[in-house]
Chains A and B, each alone.
Chain A
Amino acid sequence: MIIDVGIVAAKAFLVLFMVLNLAGILGWIERKGSALIQDRIGANRASIFGLAGMGLVNTLIADPLKFLTKEDFVPPQGDKFLHTLAPCMALFIALVTFAVIPFGDVLVLGDRVINLQVANLNVGILYIFAIASLGVYGIVIGAWASNNKFSLLGGVRGSAQMFSYEIAMGLSVMGVLMIFGTLELQEIVRGQGTLIRDLLPDSVRFLTPAIGWLPAWGVFLQPLAFLLFFTAAVAETKRIPFDLPEGESELVAGYHVEYSGGKFLMFFAGEFAEVVTAAGLTVTLFFGGWQVPYLMRDGFHFPWGEVVLLPHLAVVLLQVGAFTVKVVFFCWLQILLRWSVPRFRYDQVMRLGWKMLLPLALLNMVVTAIVIIAVQ
């Protein structure tokens, strides 16, 4: 009993630790990466004993210290309690989503089988959408409690944007859920462990030499859904090109214009945590989660027949490592997007969400359903 509770607590701690640290490091990657893209040097001012550590001292030590020691300003006409609650909600919601994302298969220690996932809910993916739908409150409450026109406008924009893209996001994953026939994320990842040749129906069996060796990852089965989902997930993080709720050029800083010090840091960290979560979800649903191609529980089984056996611990480490690498890659992709793409106008954001993503997601769902029934 005590050990079981301890294991769950350890898993929760591990996931929180990884997500928060990755969010912090992303702050550094963002500054150094944007400098790389724009041919600048980037953060290099702060140093400890002359060591700037490639700007790490700046973003990981100096910046947070500065945030935490600055004056915490609450607008006199604003709502003091809600002004404090809003950034807490924003960060909390961004962090708890990761609870159902599996970061590995099972770890067998002695006679104990540990599922490498904090919470295995049978409604898995719906939990994520439910929590994501609560993410609006951090913005809306913060915007309203600041008692500022700019922040209110930002809050209204943010809630409308997140609302619109949640629908497209939810519908775009329906195809994946139909193929794997489950809502549990761990089962979806396990389903992606097979090869495409095992899924091909007899009528198109001749394609086996061409595509049969591919792992049955969501992106190969549902390429359109992947594009739709990733677009919607990026829009949910409210970063450029979808940063209209902040809208620096017209709304100053949008919903967090009246935030300073530690509370602003919480919004800031929450945004990076959302980037990590978006990457984690994309990887889980479309890129095989912790799956390494051809790696089974006892080692590699290559499609040409070769078998390389590996000890259990090595397999688990490979899986967790693969998941981490994939997540980091998609975080980097989002940062690359942010610094390469110009921002949308607000009406363009709405048109993209309602008139392009939503109909395409519905189409994808219907086509997937027809194909599944035809194959059966």
Chain B
Amino acid sequence: MDASLIVFYVLAALLVLTSLMVVFLRNVVHCALALVAALFLIAVLFLTLNAPMVGILQILVYAGAIMVLFLFVIMFLNPVAQEPRRVLWWGLGSLAAVFLAGSLAVFMSNGESLVDPVAANEAFGSPEMLAKSLFTDFVLPFEIASVLLLVAIVGAVVLAKRES
């Protein structure tokens, strides 16, 4: 077993652990912080897969920006742990889990893996390559996404400015 595989298993184990903590911890702030840790670990996984740009953006956008706003809201509203319809949620959740595990088992029993787990070459995830593909092959979806974000920002401003 080579070193990168060991690193992967350690990271994956920690990732599963933190993800479980997001679901099972009782305190909402603890859940949010576990999610931050999970997102950070995903970013490290990207780094080991020669995609530093995606990894850094993962931290910058998700762990550093979106989760801060989550925490902001949680701290302001301080939601009390509520447990209505607990049985229903457990039932639905278990059903979804069984379905996912089943489909995964079917795919894996075919003997071929879904994705090629070989790491991309070193230049693949570099900022230059990412920028090149964003501004040449995928320029239209990229621009459409930016328009979408602009609409969302304007919408947020309109909602915040509305006279009550």
Chain B interface residue number, banded: 20 to 34
Residue tally, chain A, CB below 8 Å to B = 26
| B11 part of interface (Cβ distance < 8 Å) | no
CB distance from A177 to the nearest CB of B (A): 10
In the assembled complex, the Cα of A270 lies from the Cα of B63 at a distance in Å of 21
- Complex interface bits, B124-157 against A, C-beta within 8 A gives 1, otherwise 0: 0011000000000000000000000000000000
In the assembled complex, the Cα of A163 lies from the Cα of B52 at a distance in Å of 23
| B60 part of interface (Cβ distance < 8 Å) | yes
Helix, strand, loop or mixed for chain A's interface?
A: helix
In the assembled complex, the Cα of A143 lies from the Cα of B29 at a distance in Å of 12
Stretch at the interface among A40-48, A134-142, A301-309, A365-373: A134-142
- Contact residues in A for B42 (Cβ distance below 8 Å): none
Stretch at the interface among B14-22, B69-77, B87-95, B104-112: B69-77
- Contact residues in A for B53 (Cβ distance below 8 Å): 123, 126
Q: Are A155 and B60 in contact (CB under 8 A)?
A: no
Q: Are B68 and A136 in contact (CB under 8 A)?
A: yes
- Contact residues in A for B33 (Cβ distance below 8 Å): 82, 137, 141
- Contact residues in A for B36 (Cβ distance below 8 Å): 137
* Nearest A-chain residue to B53, judged by Cβ: A123
| A324 part of interface (Cβ distance < 8 Å) | no
Given contacts A82-B33, A134-B59, A134-B63, 16 further A-B contacts (CB under 8 A): A82-B30, A122-B126, A123-B56, A123-B127, A126-B53, A130-B59, A130-B64, A132-B64, A133-B60, A133-B63, A133-B65, A134-B64, A137-B33, A137-B36, A140-B72, A156-B76
Most chain B CB inside 10 Å of its own CB: which residue of A123, A127, A132, A155? A123
Q: Are B59 and A152 in contact (CB under 8 A)?
A: no
> Could you jot down 11 A-B contacts, CB within 8 Å?
A121-B52, A122-B127, A133-B60, A133-B68, A137-B68, A140-B68, A140-B75, A144-B71, A144-B75, A152-B75, A159-B68
- Contact residues in B for A132 (Cβ distance below 8 Å): 64
- Contact residues in A for B65 (Cβ distance below 8 Å): 133, 163
CB distance from B37 to the nearest CB of A (A): 10
CB distance from B41 to the nearest CB of A (A): 13
| A183 part of interface (Cβ distance < 8 Å) | yes
| A67 part of interface (Cβ distance < 8 Å) | no
